[in-house]
Structure 1
Amino acid sequence: MPSPAPADPSTRLRSSPIAATGLSRATLNDLSRVTESLQMLAPTWSVWVLMTLAPQPLRYTEVKSKLTLLADGQLHPKLGKLVDAGLVERKEHGHRHVTYGLTRRGVDLIPVLSVLAGWGDTHLEKPLARNKATGELEPQPVAVAQNIEDTIALISPRHSTPLVWALRARGPASAKALAAEVMPTYNLSRVYPPLRRVIDDGLVAVTPSGEFQLSTSGRELAPAYQALSAWATGRPLTEAHPLWGRTLTSPQTRPGPWLTTQSRLSAPPAEPAKTPGTAWRAGDLFSHRMPARPLPIPAAGGPRR
């Protein structure tokens, strides 16, 4: 019996968590890989686990001790899903001696996460705290893993990234045109809720004529999408993307508290800035004391978290 023909990518997208689009086939395939990558990273705590394992492989109890806010019984299934995704490797060294570490694919993802962290650090709102010396409210640093997860939370919903890509490709557009591009199998009215979402999230703005266009924050997602696309296809991050251009020559980490604890406490005295292009050190990952529970983030301008 002859084997069935491979499924059309657009058909697969219509049954996937990501919407089908009216974009070109090459862009559609690229978008599909990026959105699938975002879905893989989107579950809460996935990034925290990956960053915890970035310096070196760890035993289960060692990972758990570094992620104390993760409820009992949640770490094991999250590690299992990351193993299934090919990002984490589980190694048995002997009786009751198992370690978890990043695979080659997981290691290659770390520079991409660094680009996402940079966008979140620049564009997302930050918690405010009153300066004891001046009495002024000042933005406080946010954990790098939280910046990454909050960035992914903005661009991973079903139609958010397809809308941003469509606006990047065509420029300002009407709701009708966007519906034809991003949701060709839906009624026109279905495009408005996801449009309102990307507007509320600060990625899209409304022009005086009533059309929609990318905001500054939306346009500056270019390095993030370029890096995600390059990683998803196994290309170098320095290779230019046909839609989003070129990312950083060498993915950089930003000066700041590179930690994987969900801290909202005031930062310790500033340390010398890290050399651009260098990865965070193991000692930087947990440079803050962990609060008893996550603290709320008050609005301080910029796209919401």
Structure 2
Amino acid sequence: MATTGLPESISSDLSRVTQSLQMLAPRWNVWVLLTMSEKPLRYREIKGALPWLPDGQLHPRLVRLVDSGLLERTEFEPQDVLYGLSVRGRELLPVLGVIATWGGRHLEKETVLDPATGHRVPKAVPRAQDVEDTIALIAPRQATPILWALRIRGTSSAKALAATAMPDRHLTNVYEPLNRLAEDFLVTKDREGRVELTAAGRDLAPVYRALSAWAAGAPLTEAASHPVWAPEPEQPRDRPAMWAATQPRIPAVLTTQTRATWKPGDPFFSDTTTVIRPAGAAATGGRTR
């Protein structure tokens, strides 16, 4: 269990949630699980539903999902194997639905021309992609501990945040994950270096409540009483909503772009470094998918 400065009960809960995210985070795992959401499938049927995954990528994922207890494997003959969701896997489906809802609401989307209206509208995104892209934002090391610490502390300095989220590591280690969370519009930093959750970050509450309940083996109906992410009164939004960013999932022509970075001792962004972004990414919308 990762060391935090949080109370033991909250730290244990956080550890279960981060372990659950790590189980789901490998690319295409969610696609594999949702492919079997309606009924068990034979290997050849799964392969037909996910044709972009060759045997060398699909089979190891199935093995790991079986080992993690999310899938069950029934072998009739060496070339006739049936895979289906386990009880824990089926219990996970409503949680994935909550995650997909957040992704559909907050993740940046390409637009396409609607021939009926002549207007550009957000491009439809598969439910599995919404889930996978959301997990890609909150699964990286230290991302979720920082978000939980900010939920508890409210507005915080980086130093106080590091002491809460990662007390066993040097203060400077907090800046890289904070920069990433800021780029993904989950946290915001002012010129005095104070950090707080954005509206999109606060809206992760249902996601973390659902993950916490599932990881503890509790029904989702008990999730509303979560000690950290319990529902809070509706607050008026005094600034335009911004898309949260997500890593691209398809090959793209790459271009270089400079972005500001946050360095230890700086009150705000003060230096630049070159990063890779897909060509055509919106200047104010973060990485497109």
Which category describes the TM-score, using the shorter chain as reference length? 0.7 to 0.9
What's 2:45 paired with?
62
What's 1:17 paired with?
none
CA shift in 2, pair 1:71/1:299, >3 Å: farther
Q: How far off its partner does 1:210 sit? A: 2.9
Say yes or no: does 1:103 pair with 2:99: no
What SS does structure 1 have at the residue aligned with 2:84?
A: strand
For residues 226 and 55 of structure 1, the distance between their equivalents in structure 2, rounded to whole angstroms, comes to 25
What SS does structure 2 have at the residue aligned with 1:212?
A: strand
Q: How far off its partner does 1:92 sit? A: 2.1
Q: Is the 8 A contact 1:112 1:231 kept in 2?
A: yes
Amino acid at match of 2:167: P
More strand by proportion, 1 or 2?
2
Map of 1:272-287 to 2, 5 A cutoff? none
Q: Is the 8 A contact 1:126 1:297 kept in 2?
A: no
Say yes or no: does 1:84 pair with 2:98: no
What's 2:126 paired with?
143
Map of 1:113-152 to 2, 5 A cutoff? 113-132=96-115, 135-152=118-135
What's 2:267 paired with?
none
TM-score of the aligned structures, taking structure 2 as reference length: 0.78
What's 1:156 paired with?
139
For residues 303 and 92 of structure 1, the distance between their equivalents in structure 2, rounded to whole angstroms, comes to 45
Amino acid at match of 2:62: L
Map of 1:177-192 to 2, 5 A cutoff? 177-192=160-175
Q: 1:245 aligns with which of 230, 240, 243?
A: 230
What SS does structure 2 have at the residue aligned with 1:228?
A: helix
Q: Is the 8 A contact 2:158 2:193 kept in 1?
A: no
**Deviation digits for residues 211-250 of structure 1 (CA, Å, limit 9, x no counterpart):** 1000000000000000000000011111121111169xxx
**Deviation digits for residues 138-163 of structure 1 (CA, Å, limit 9, x no counterpart):** 21111100000000000000011000
Unaligned runs of 5+ in 2: 233-248, 251-277
What's 1:251 paired with?
none
Q: 1:112 aligns with which of 95, 101, 108?
A: 95
Q: 2:56 aligns with which of 59, 73, 86?
A: 73
Amino acid at match of 1:200: E
Q: Is the 8 A contact 2:103 2:134 kept in 1?
A: yes
Amino acid at match of 2:69: G
For residues 71 and 86 of structure 1, the distance between their equivalents in structure 2, rounded to whole angstroms, comes to 23
Amino acid at match of 1:245: A
CA shift in 2, pair 1:102/1:133, >3 Å: closer
Q: How far off its partner does 1:170 sit? A: 1.0
Q: 1:197 aligns with which of 147, 157, 180?
A: 180
Aligned-residue RMSD, C-alpha:
2.4
Identity percentage over the alignment?
Answer: 54
**Deviation digits for residues 278-304 of structure 1 (CA, Å, limit 9, x no counterpart):** xxxxxxxxxxxxxxxxx9995497664
CA shift in 2, pair 1:95/1:72, >3 Å: closer
What SS does structure 2 have at the residue aligned with 1:164?
A: helix
For residues 42 and 138 of structure 1, the distance between their equivalents in structure 2, rounded to whole angstroms, comes to 29
Q: Greater RCO between the two (CA within 8 Å, min separation 6)?
A: 1
What's 1:215 paired with?
198
Q: How far off its partner does 1:185 sit? A: 1.9
CA shift in 2, pair 1:64/1:107, >3 Å: same
Q: Is the 8 A contact 1:125 1:299 kept in 2?
A: no
What's 1:283 paired with?
none
CA shift in 2, pair 1:176/1:70, >3 Å: same
- Aligned residue-pair number: 243
Q: How far off its partner does 1:179 sit? A: 1.0
CA shift in 2, pair 1:299/1:121, >3 Å: farther
